[in-house]
Structure 1
Amino acid sequence: MKTFKLIALEIMDGDEAVNVPLTDGLIINKEDEQSTWLLEAYTAAPLYDFFKKITDEQKEVIVQAVITKKDNDPAFFQTKVVTLTQFKNHISVLLEGRLRRARRDYSELLLDSLLQKGFTGNALLNEFKEKMKSKPRIK
């Protein structure tokens, strides 16, 4: 098994991305035959109802996770909530799933998105550099 720091997490809820502000986070590659990953998010208690609904529906969710360093490209996982634990001011959400391998990497998707929005020349370059730092979700 390999363990990494979870830096940022977004849950895809339909067409919307729900940002999960992390107090702390951990991600584990179990390196098993099923290529399973575990993601633990320790976050604010007000998100309990959101995760409780996902848990009760036993719904699979796509998550976008930034691992180890803020500058890293996000990785996408197809997951299910395994456990949801409520504390006084926080919750712990344990998700289990598999890495979704994209055919194109984040930088290609971002560039394509910016070109579709009409960016060209220096404006394209500047917007690309800015977005590569902030890593927004790309539809």
Structure 2
Amino acid sequence: MKTFKLISLQIVEDDSLVDINLVDGLIINQENDQNTWMLEAYVDKTYNDYFQKLSKLGEDIIVQVVITKKENSPAAFQTKIATIKHVTDHISILFEGKLKKTNYDYAEIVLKKLIDQGLSGDTLLKEFKTILRGKPQITAAKGN
């Protein structure tokens, strides 16, 4: 197994990303035959209702994370919530899942967002390059 620091966490909802403000987090590559990863997000308890709702749906949750350093490219995981534990004023959410192809998903989300903002031509290209070089600059409304 290999353990890494979780730097940022976003939940993919339709064509947008919900930023989750992490207090702390880690991610573990279990290095098993199923290619399973475990992600633990330690967040403020104000996120409890949001994550309880996601957990009750029982559906796969696509998360986008940055691992180890904020300059790293985001990685996407197809996950399910394994547990939600309450710890004083915080909650710990444990996700279990598999790594998805990453940079394509991120680039597509960025491009769609910029097109939806009405950008085109050289302006679109310039803004697209700026965002991709400054990963992970794309944000969505906080969903807590």
Q: CA deviation at 1:133?
A: 1.1
Q: Which residue of 1 aligns with 2:61?
A: 61
Q: Distance in 2 between matches of 1:52 and 1:111?
A: 28
Equivalences for residues 6-45 of structure 1 within 5 A: 6-45=6-45
Deviations 1:55-88 (A, max 9, x none): 2222210000011111111100000000100122
Q: Which residue of 2 aligns with 1:120?
A: 122
Q: Secondary structure at the match of 1:129?
A: helix
**Number of residue equivalences:** 136
Q: Does 1:5 align with 2:5?
A: yes
Q: Distance in 2 between matches of 1:63 and 1:35?
A: 16
Q: Secondary structure at the match of 1:65?
A: strand
Q: Which residue of 1 aligns with 2:142?
A: none
* Structure 1 segments unaligned to the other structure (5+ residues): none
TM-score (norm 2): 0.79
Q: Does 1:76 align with 2:63?
A: no
TM-score (norm 1): 0.82
* Structure 2 segments unaligned to the other structure (5+ residues): 140-144
Deviations 1:97-128 (A, max 9, x none): 0011258475x64785599531417x844652
Identity level (%): 41
Q: Distance in 2 between matches of 1:114 and 1:59?
A: 25
Q: Which has the higher contact order (CA 8 A, sep 6+)?
A: 2
Provide the aligned C-alpha RMSD in A.
2.8
CA 52–72 in structure 1, closer or farther in 2 if over 3 Å, else same: same
